Every structure is written in structure tokens, then in C-alpha cells.
Structure 1
């Protein structure tokens, strides 16, 4: 069972890495489609594993975007872990609407908030609209795909 968990987490992490290479032109070079696969991981991964995939996706996204790795990107990776962990927990408890609202607010608005104090208010106000737009795109992709993936997994479990 652990091998299956590790394999599925690695697969979602790899999909996050692929999504990290699909940049959204919003002015922030690490804005990409890296979190949609992590949100999809909620269908079959436990919350910690889905969060790890999201954190890895951000690290790849930052690297592809040309950002040096450092404390800010470690913070963002930790935030991605928390957002996807929370989303996965809400998904597992069948909170069909609140999980999407949580994902948009937590990732699109709350995640950039520490940079208001760490860098500057101007930076926060400058990057938040782009991050919010990118978050909504990632959430819409996951919103479309998650029910399909969940049905496919349910069908597969019946036939196993």
C-alpha cells in the first residue's frame, strides 16, 4: 500500500511539474497551472500526500520561472501544501462547494498576504490579482476534471 501511495504522489507531483511549465501571462512568472493536478489528487490521495505534490509543483514552477530558490519560495511551497491539504480534507468530507471557495480564497488572496509585510504592500497589491486569476483557472480545471476522475475511480474500485 505504501508503494502505491508513493507512486500516486509521484505521478501527481510530475503532473504538477508539467503544469508548472504552462505559465499564465499575468505578470508573475511563477503563475502557472501547477496546482490543478494537486487539487485532482484529492480524489485518491490523503491530504498530506496531495499537499506534498502541490509543494513540489510550486518549487518546479519557481525554477522554471527563473526565480532563485530561497526562503520566499519555501514559504510559498508551504502555503501550497496547506491550501491543498485543506482542500483535500474538505473534499474527503464531501464539502462540495466550500472546498472550491476555500481553494480560491486561501490560494488566491491569503497566500500572497505575508508578502504585504515581508516585501511591501505594493508587491502584495501588484501580484495578488494575477495570482487570483491563475488560482481561478487552476480551480476551474480541477472543478471540471475532479468529478470525472472521481467517477472513474469509483467504477474501477467496483471492478477490482
Structure 2
């Protein structure tokens, strides 16, 4: 991995830490604005980088919230990585709105599915509205920032790093 790419990855992880401190009121204290840096990273420096930022951002957010789900947060971090990875793939193919819909629906309805079986319908129904609000805020912030930040990512700065 090139030094420039690694530096940008560290920058986006730092932004995810800041976003992790901005919580959305929820049943579980790990719903936060930690994902928009991952969405930015996946579009600007690649899906792999975005997946790393997503997993790291979620784990930091969970730590800030007291790790209420214990080791299940590692499953959520993996889910976030996959969701962001596929978001980036869709976005870079020019399917921006499909990518946004994918992110919101998969993060809101699919990611909490394991908790439906482990903790029951009550927990699932209680967490979905907060995750929906968090997902919508994260996608709106990322869609506002991507075109503004992308202008600073000149090809000479990131030569070859836009690949997934």
C-alpha cells in the first residue's frame, strides 16, 4: 500500500472516530455518524479502504457506547464493511442513487437481522428506527461531501488507488 493511500486511510479513520462521538439516540449506544467517512473513503480511495474505515468506525463507536452488544459488535463491523464495499462498487459504476438505496436498506433492515434471532422481535423493532435515522444522516452527509472533497483528489495524488 502506498504511503499516500495509507495516510488518507488514517485520515478517514480519524474522521470516523469523530463521527463515532456523534450519537443518534437509540436503544443501543452504537448508532452514530461513524459511517459517512467510510462512504467517502470507498468512493475516493477504493472499496477496500472504505471497508476498513467502516469496520474501524463501528468498533470505535461501540467502544464509545460501552460495547453494549459485546462481541456481537465484531459481526456488525463485518456487516458494515460489506455494506460499504458494495456501496462503493455501485457508486463507482455510476449507480449513485442505487448505491444510496442499497446502503440505507441494507444497513437498516439487513444488518440488524442477526439480532432478530438472538434477541427477539422487540429488540429488532426497537433498533430499526434509530438505525434508519442514522443511515439517512450518514448517506446525506456523504452525498453532500463527496463532490466537494473529490475535487481535491487529483489523479496524480491517488494514481492507481481508485481500484477496489
TM-score by length of 2: 0.88
Q: Which runs of 5+ in 1 are unaligned?
A: none
Alignment: residue pair count: 158
CA, structure 1 residues 6+159, in 2 after alignment: closer, same or farther (shift >3 Å)? closer
Structure 1 residue 151: Cα displacement: 3.0
CA contact (8 A) 2:23 2:31 kept: yes
CA, structure 1 residues 19+159, in 2 after alignment: closer, same or farther (shift >3 Å)? closer
State how 1:11-160 maps to structure 2 within 5 Å: 11-67=11-67, 70-153=70-153, 156-157=154-155
- Aligned-residue Cα RMSD (Å) equals 1.9
TM-score by length of 1: 0.90
Partner SS state of residue 54, structure 2? helix
CA contact (8 A) 1:36 1:138 kept: yes
Q: More displaced, 37-46 or 130-139? A: 37-46
Which has the larger helix fraction? 1
CA–CA distance in structure 1, aligned partners of residues 69 and 111 of structure 2? 18
CA–CA distance in structure 2, aligned partners of residues 68 and 100 of structure 1? 28
CA contact (8 A) 2:20 2:58 kept: yes
